[in-house]
Amino acid sequence: MTATLTPGKADPTTLRRIAREKQSFEIDPACRAGVDAARKVVEDILGKDEAVYGINTGFGELARVRIPRDKLAELQRNLILSHATGTGEVLGDKTVRLILTLKILGLARGFSGVRWAVIDRLKKFFDYDLLPQIPVKGSVGASGDLAPLAHLGCALIGVGRVKYRGYEMSAARAHERAGLEPLVLEAKEGLALINGTQVSTALALQGLFAAENIFSAALVAGALTTDAILGSDTPFDPRIHEARGQGGQIDAAAALKSLMAGSEIRLSHEDCDRIQDPYSIRCQPQVMGACLDALRHAATILETEANAVSDNPLVFAKEGEILSGGNFHAEPVALASDHLALALAEVGALAERRIALLIDKNLSNLPAFLVKEGGLNSGFMIAHVTAAALASENKSLAHPASVDSLPTSANQEDHVSMATFAARRLSDMHANSSGIIGIELLAAAQGIEFRRPLKSSPVLETELAAIREQVKPYDQDRFFAPDIAAARALVDSGRYRATVDGHIHLPSGT
């Protein structure tokens, strides 16, 4: 089914499906009038031969240089070519599709002064699966994502490399195969393309979608671990969390309580003499709830930014004015990305502690390292070491990127956001946290095996069965890495979103 996107009103669920499921979309045709009206303002200014930044001047420190009208097309082309200075690997296809979508949404708001032909060409790129190859490095997050978006602009004018229907080739060749002519940019259009926060926002949204998968999987893994160690679900009693009043905490506790409901294992030790569980079990609602609040806050910021007009200058057709400001500064995206990074690090750190608990026979009342014949078999000993290594790496990656700034453009751009790196590093953090949660799922499932013939809750037994479809129990040591990869695939599949959906309403849905 094709979605209809209204510029200014796109929601995270639709954007996730566009990025990850190749959801097709159309732009609400009602926005065309606003785009045309803004373009008319630009044409009128050109007709009056007025000097206006971004239309007939240089850029940045060169803004005082007036450009004659017969050089304006060359100015736009030069701008794109000179700013295409990215380096490193290229962004993944899912992220590029999202960048194209966000750029379309921003330009279609009708404040950028571009022709409809520019928006239409971006949409054709999306529809034809013609994806610009955009290097991951080179943006400081102000004035927008200049270098990466310039590589997108290069593809539009037939320069650089693209991927067309899965095959990499020159942009010129891809135009020929798609039956398109390279776009000739007119006044204001090159600047509108490269000014904007679409790359950092797309990366941050991808980080959000991944963090939601991690979060939901960690709740399931945490509930499994609690049952495996004969932990108590009393700390998940809603009265405790309502007394504090933190929304995320209340929801996380409700999810954990629901996941464990009906567990035979829990009923088997209701009258045991254990007074309290370690914090990694008992305080799951408090820690996970705070992380959930961070995800929700970041999602609110990123949804706004996904619908934002973030280029410069802006055209206000109703008043016939063009105003220069700084919406390209990606500080909101940088701070939201830092919040996501902290949440990812904490979710992983808590899970690593639960793995350590599971393998410790003195605390878990399970065989040492979750394996029979310890000594002959090492069991989960080094799997935990891997989890610890990943958690430690996340601590370094979680350092706020937004606190850094280096002035550029001869000190004209004297404070920048570093939003692009802030968002880009979320991919590495997601991979680390996915590995940690995957290992915990395996360890908790192994712990449950030692509680048989008792069963866990119906919900958790369903999830155990899904794990066992991929990974058999550990009777003795075997090649471990493929099992971790299989568990990571379960985490990254997003299957656990639906498992916790009754209590955890994730920002981008199930």
Strands in 167-170's sheet, in edge-to-edge order, are 130-132, 161-164, 167-170
Catalytic residue among 53, 128, 164, 496: 53
- Which parts of 307-330 fold into alpha helices (H)? none
Residues 68, 187: Cα–Cα separation, whole Å:
11
DSSP per-residue codes, 19-52: HHH---EEE-GGGHHHHHHHHHHHHHHHHHT---
What is the C-alpha separation between 327 and 99, in angstroms, rounded? 17
Distance separating alpha carbons of residues 210 and 285, to the nearest angstrom? 20
**Helix and strand counts by DSSP (H, E) for the chain:** 21, 9
Q: Interior CA angle at 35 toward 20 and 423, to 5°?
A: 35
Question: What's the rounded Cα separation, in Å, for the pair 82 and 409?
Answer: 13
Say how far apart CA 405 and CA 120 lie, in whole Å. Answer: 36
Q: Is residue 164 among the annotated active site residues?
A: no
SS3 state of residue 399: coil
Pairing of strands 167-170, 161-164: antiparallel
The residues annotated with a catalytic role in the active site are: 53
